[in-house]
Chain A
């Protein structure tokens, strides 16, 4: 009963916190709301007309939605790179960042789930997938595995920070015996979500571009580069605009994580390129399409080469200690690395899987305005969710939000 009272008080105070703020904060939230509304309008058109309003066809049947979903699973998984040092290895330098990382994971997971629903042809019959009232094709379908791991990870990343904040809100310390098992579990779980998502593609013998043993490990490497890179950028913004103190040491340590992951990612890229182009087979055609174009069709060329250049540039910049420890260079590298991996692990991975088609047909894919509108709307939703979570968490962590007694 007492806990319920505290909870109600927390909800009330949180609502109070997120509805009050500076002029900049209100403008930011209004902007996000506007973008979300535009996205919802675009989605309402899609619901009415069907998925024909997107650029997807029978030839390229997954597009921007699934691309963003795949990439964001990686961003969500990256929270583990902060969770592990903080809770398991007891590195206090990460402590400030970890709640932010978990908030980012929650926002990314919500975006993932919304992207998948946006991609569905029949969102009204999604209850067919709920075990018990529907038919859940587990363990045969990797998609059901993905549903389990994503929702499980979402639960872990909501419950652990919630417990900690709930204790701090009451002015008490969080009991490590309660949250450490969960944190430990989430470390393995994070690897699981990205590996399972990779298996979703990797297990299809029909698509040689995906049916590749390196896909899973490379997903992990790129995720552990892109996710913490985003966290660095977000931390930089937070410490500029709020009273939340994040030490340089913390950011430098996360930068180290990004650097190593980016280096490993680059090595794997070289291995993939070597395999595809040294002795090209029939199965290398998708890679040819992606990097050089086929039959004069080359829509992805500018994107993938931009991604590779940004990727290499960022990795080189990060590798040199002097450059990495210069925060201006670091933030720049993180931004370009994030964009590079968004291209490479998004539509640079999904679209070529369908091109050429099973019988060599080369039909290209270009997203439509409505599809882009929905996509941007979902990104705005993610930013909105993250802003709310971060604002409350920061206020509790800085001690300005405590239960009134």
Chain B
């Protein structure tokens, strides 16, 4: 592979550091084969695996410690109190194991399943209700991409509402992943004069609309800066966060050039009856205070073969989502037949989010 085929800009220093593949959806034949090869990312993972082994050893140590503590504590409480039920004990056990679990990125499939089961059980014990949570991994030969038709968007913001409901976002701080920028006709793409917080009838005369959210960059700056690898790029291109591993330093927020990340400044609140119970560990499960979150292209839907909520909710058809590696997908048709562009391409972040006009 030559320098010209690199996915993103990097200096060629002669060593095969980032041997990236040809760009996807560029319209040329023979592109979009990024899944075929062992990418450097996967090689790195072996290194992570080593760290992972260590942390798992500690984890089992913690587990044993926890178990013995639990037995001891359980013996004491049951002998002293008749009220403490098995539920209380189980809850305490789950809390303990959740507190000392490892990074989701480095877990094996069994461990992923175990933590998901614990979270579901914990929710049952707390509320008496049940929910479904998935730990589904990325499928092979899938790379998600998104296109946004500026000509079609009328600024109705149905996507924003659908996103908030689908992803269980904090209602009290009105957190929204999507921002719709209302721009003036004749000024071009002038974000400085755009309004991303409008409260009037749309479409407003003399304006056009453009939506932004996390662009799921192929070379995401937020991932590099995280001190604990609590955020990473999955094999299907989604940039995700392990809410339980995040320490809340907000370095990723400073590193994101697209305003794609949100922070839980308080404990997020969603009314019980509004909670979307179809969840994914990396997606819309309930977050806690002091952690980062962001758009995941609705991982709970997209990995199940559905469109993200924003795409489904859009009344104008301005939003197009699909698999970049599937030559017959709509997104590929758009990329090959429309004059597409991306925001701040000079930063070398390679967003998988394209804009186009009719």
Contact = CB atoms under 8 A, between A and B. Distances in A.
Interface of A: 49-52, 56-58, 61-62, 116, 119-122, 125-126, 128-129, 132-137, 140-144, 147, 200-201, 203-207, 353-354, 356-361
Interface stretch (B114-122, B128-136, B219-227, B298-306): B219-227
Given A50-B266, A121-B289, A359-B181, A204 B192 contact: no
Interface string B63-77: 000000000000000
Interface residues on B, range: 35 or more
Interface in B241-295: 244-251, 253-259, 261-267, 289-292
A136 B290 contact: no
Given A137-B226, A206-B254, A120 B247 contact: yes
Contacts of B196: 359, 361
B291 A143 contact: no
A142 B194 contact: no
Given A137-B227, A358-B258, A360-B191, A58 B181 contact: no
A134 B228 contact: yes
Contacts of A357: 259
Interface in B195-240: 196, 212, 221, 224-230
Nearest to B173: A52
B221 A135 contact: no
Interface of B: 48, 51, 54-55, 58, 103, 106, 173, 175, 179, 181, 191-194, 196, 212, 221, 224-230, 244-251, 253-259, 261-267, 289-292, 347-349
A205 B348 contact: yes
Contacts of A203: 225
B259 A52 contact: no
A122 B347 contact: no
Nearest to A358: B259
Per DSSP, chain A at the interface is loop
Contacts of A142: 225
Which residue among B58, B175, B290 has the maximum number of chain A CB atoms within 10 Å of its CB?
B290
Contact of A144 (B227, B255, B347): B227
A49 B258 CA distance: 28
A141 B290 contact: no
10 contacts: A52-B266, A129-B227, A132-B54, A132-B55, A135-B228, A205-B348, A205-B349, A359-B259, A360-B194, A361-B259
Contacts of A143: 225, 227, 249, 251
A205 B227 contact: no
Contacts of A361: 196, 259
Contacts of B257: 205-206, 358
Given A125-B247, A129-B247, 13 more contacts: A49-B266, A50-B267, A58-B253, A116-B249, A122-B291, A128-B245, A133-B58, A134-B103, A136-B51, A141-B251, A205-B348, A359-B196, A360-B191
Contacts of A137: 226-229
Contacts of A136: 51, 227-228
A285 to B, nearest CB: 8
Contacts of B225: 140-143, 203-204
B41 to A, nearest CB: 12
A58 B262 contact: yes
A119 B51 CA distance: 27
Contacts of A119: 249-250
